[in-house]
Every structure is written in structure tokens, then in C-alpha cells.
Amino acid sequence: MDYQELLEQIEADIAPLIGSGTPAEYIPALASVEPRQFGMAIADLDGKVHGVGDWRTAFSAQSITKVFALALALAEGGDSLWERVGREPSGNPFNSLVQLEYENGIPRNPFINAGALVVTDRLQTLTGDASSELLKFLQEESGNPDVAFDAEVATSEQENGDRNAALAHFMASYGNLDNPVPALLDHYFWQCSIELTCADLALAARFLARHGLRADGSRLLTRSEAKQVNAVMLTCGTYDAAGEFAYRVGLPGKSGVGGGIVAVVPGLCTLAVWSPGLDAQGNSVAGVAALDRFTTLTGLSVF
């Protein structure tokens, strides 16, 4: 398949949507990003990357980091993680508090904020420095030492972090966190602030297309764990729009409020797309449309 030609076709098809939607407004450092940007990259299993548009412009990874944190926590600590966090779609916004009380402080899945806080807590216990471990992993898998924390975004998150603090304290009251809440929030906010390009993101996610194998050929996850992470991405990776995303795109995918989305075609390639305008559920409007176009034009999906 000629990936370059395909990407150019997709870019032309979705051009009218670039700039639609609204960049995340609840984090001031994200609200000021120029919305009329769009980039898309495809990495094959051997690490060859193709891209179009702003595919080499760095953006805020935000919740996309939740996939990598989950993979590292599973790799380091195994299955016991699932005693603390579920694997069902929430059907609620990513920062919702409501389910937590009647489900006794056990978040529905690792990709809503409450679940991601549990995963980061676990990773902190397992490694002693959750956010740095995550950054190191992304740098290694992308082969790009410039993948970095963005201090302005992390500070902005911290200053607007009451909702995440509430989620964390609430779970702590149920005994579902090991680490002190302020330290955990710190790691979570720095984790969310990581900035990378579509090229970096597509490369870094390749272990999910390679059934658990890292860029250097070593094993991060078992084949079965890689399947499990992909499955949770498909069912929970785009919050209360996961059903619509599966319907339109038909691939495991994870979005972030920075406007990025990563998607996986197991055994073939990874896709990364970025455009800052978000829909009401927090997913990139042009990004979802581009992935929809990809699976429609190629017939590639997990279905």
C-alpha cells in the first residue's frame, strides 16, 4: 500500500473540517493553541514513518499517555492492577465523579481520569518515578530525545486540577491509592503535559501493533496483554464516544484533549493524528474524521 498517497488523499478529504470544534478550554495553556492545524502519520512495523501536514509539530499528548502508563504498569506489575480498576466503558465524561461512589472507589477503566490516576499510582509504587519512566519509554520507542515534559502545561493543569484532586482524594478514602495524593497528582499532571509529534506517537505505539514487542525487539507485554490493552482502547479509549468511534473507525484508539489520537492496526501499522479542535466528548473532530477516512478507504479495521 502506498501510505504517502493515502495520507495525502485523507488530508484532502478532511480539509473542510480542519479548524472545526474547540480546543480544550479548561487548561489555559491548551486553549491558546492555533486550531487550524492538522497532522497525520503512519508507522509500519519496522519503524518506517510517513506523514502529512503538521506531522512533525509537537502537541500536548494529554490522555494519550494513559495507554503507555497502562502498558508500563502491566509490564512491571502484571494482572493485579485489575483488582483496582475495571475494564468497562463508563459512558460518562472523562473527568466524571458520579460512578466512583456507587462503585466503591474502583474506577470503571484505566482511560477515564480516575482510572488513570490509579494506574499512575501503581506505576509510582512499582518504579519510584512514574512520570520520568513514562517519558523515558516514549523517548526510547520514538527514538526522539526531544520528546519532553511541557512545564507550562503541567503548571496550568496543576492550577486547574481541582477535579482530578477530588477524584484522587475520593479514591484514597476507599484505600485504592498507595501514594500520597499530592505526589500522585504531580506525576499525573507531568505525565499529561508530555509533548510529542505525530511521528513520535506513531512510532512509540508500535508495541501495540507488534503484539507486545518494543522497538528494539525486546518484549514489553505478552501477546495476550497487548491484545488486552488494544481491547480496552477500543471499548474505552474515546470516553463516552467509544461506541461512535468503534462504529466509524473500527480500530483501537486513544484520544487526548490536546487533539491527538493514536490508533492501532494490529500486525500492520500504527496511526497518529492531531488537530486541536475537539467535539463535545473531547475528541479531535478532524482527527476522528481522518481515521474514519483511513479505514473506509483501505478496508483495514479489526472488524
User: Which is nearer to ligand DON, 210 or 254 (by Cβ)?
Assistant: 254
Active site residue 85: no
Q: How many CB atoms lie within 10 A of CB 48?
A: 11
Beta-carbon contacts of residue 299 (< 8 Å; ≥ 6 apart): none
Kindly report the backbone phi and psi dihedral angles of residue 111, in degrees, each rounded to the nearest multiple of 5, phi listed first. Answer: -110, -10
Closest CA to 61 of 177, 139, 159: 139
Which one from 49, 188, 229, 255 is the annotated catalytic residue? 188
Q: Is there a catalytic annotation at residue 26?
A: no
Is 235 a binding residue for ligand DON by CB under 6 A? The answer is: no
Would you call 66 a catalytic residue per the annotation? Answer: yes
Does 282 engage in binding with ligand DON (CB under 6 A)? yes
- Cell matching residue 32: 491558546
The contacts of residue 102 (CB under 8 Å, 6+ apart) are none
Q: Which is nearer to ligand DON, 121 or 157 (CB)?
A: 157
129 φ/ψ angles, rounded to the nearest 5 degrees: -160, 75
The catalytically annotated residue of 3, 49, 60, 66 is: 66
Q: Is 95 in the site for ligand DON (CB under 6 A)?
A: yes
Under rule CB under 6 A, residue 37 binds ligand DON:
no
Catalytic residue among 257, 264, 265, 273: 257
Decide: is 257 part of the binding site for ligand DON (CB under 6 A): yes
178 in helix, strand or coil? coil
- Minimal CA–CA distance to 288: which of 111, 251, 235? 251
Q: Which of residues 189-228 bind ligand DON (CB under 6 A)?
A: 192
Residue 63 or 139: which CB sits closer to ligand DON?
63
Closer of 106 and 257 to ligand DON (Cβ): 257
136 flagged as catalytic: no
Look-up of cell digits 503541567: 154
63 is annotated as an active-site residue? yes
Structural contact between residues 202 and 142, judged by C-beta atoms closer than 8 angstroms: no
Q: What count of Cα atoms within 13 Å lies in the side-chain half-sphere of residue 125?
A: 15
Which run of H or E residues covers position 28? helix 28-31
Q: Which stretch binds ligand DON (CB under 6 A): 68-76, 194-202, 228-236, 249-257?
A: 249-257
- Nearer CB in complex with ligand DON: 225/240: 240
CA-wise closest residue to 52 among 280, 272, 201, 283: 272
Q: Using the rule CB under 6 A, is 113 a contact of ligand DON?
A: yes
Q: Which of residues 122-161 bind ligand DON (CB under 6 A)?
A: 157
Residues of this chain that interact with ligand DON (CB under 6 A) are 62-63, 94-95, 113, 157, 164, 192, 255-257, 282
Catalytic positions, written as ranges: 63, 66, 188, 239, 257
